[in-house]
Amino acid sequence: MNKGNIIKALKMQYDKTIAEGGKQKRLFNIKEFNKLDRSGLEFEVEERRLCLHQTVEQEKIYIQYPGKESKPRRSNLIPKPKDFRPKVKIKTGSFIEDFTFGDIFNIIEKTCDGDKEKLSIMAALFCNEAYMTKHIYIEKDYEYEDILIVNDEVKRTGRLSLKWYGIDSNTDWKNIDKYFGKITSPKGNKISFEAFAWMIDLLFQNEDCKYYYINTFNKDESEIKKYEKNLDKGRISSALTAMTIIKYLRKNMGIGTLYDKLKYSGGIAKIDVASFEEVTNKIVSVL
């Protein structure tokens, strides 16, 4: 897959139908991920690693749960029992460190290194992620292992069934990896771009699950339906904020404007739909 084919694969025409289709996929995923059994599991005591994918480079992509926000250290924070985090095991058998959103933005900057074309392709990737346009329906049994955190001992293994919309495994990742090159983590670990894309997708999935819980727990049916109708937090906020960061990196926005957007919106700065074409160099068009 050359650069032209990568662009072709990410081509997208945004309209209300795309937005609504993405919302329905997100809602389906939220409910399925939130059904995952967490009986007997506890953050930093016994956690489950569920393997959802193996990359072309033989890295294994997991989600591990419960996450730290299921047992917050500060009493003023709401526990989020559905919290999880993506984990990547590289070919050596070691797990790389967890990524923050700040880490992801730094990686985008370093990987693209000011190359406007790469930044446009990266922005198109995030736009597709926001609306799950390339996600396909998957129904599959996945392997898991329950870990005793104190010594990283595997207590039990098994398989469980999950229905969800995930990244298409038939994507030509080998050539996409060649285009972007290896991704370097903050601690110097090297992973494929495929692994990076899966980490981002699962981070967004976790954001959706967390915000759904916060906005629907102990709420009446009318409030739940109202939130489900809008579904304006989580994946969509994170992906469109990443596009705003890329808009700045492409020099389509000044640092002062970026600062104001982040400051006055609590760190969430969703790009406006009118900027999709500019930041993606028309890989994404708006109808």
Q: How far apart are CA 35 and CA 32, in angstroms?
A: 5
Overall average pLDDT of the 95-123 stretch: 96
Residue-wise pLDDT for 72-83, tens only, equals 888 878 899 999
Please state, in angstroms and rounded to a whole number, the distance separating the CA atoms of residues 286 and 273: 8
For residue 136, give Cα distances in angstroms to 133, 166, 204, 285: 9, 6, 16, 22
Look up residue 162 and give its two tokens: 């999950």
pLDDT at 198 exceeding the cut of 90: yes
- 134-154 pLDDT, tens digit per residue, is 999 999 999 999 999 999 999
In the prediction, which pLDDT does 264 show? 87
| Whether the Cβ atoms of residue 81 and residue 70 lie closer than 8 Å to each other | yes
pLDDT for residue 7 is more than 60: yes
> Which pLDDT does position 265 carry in this prediction?
84
Q: What per-residue confidence (pLDDT) applies to 1?
A: 53
**195 touches 88 (CB < 8 A):** yes
CA distance 115 to 13: 24
3-state helix, strand, coil in the chain (%, to 5): 45, 20, 35
**How many residues are there in the chain?**
287
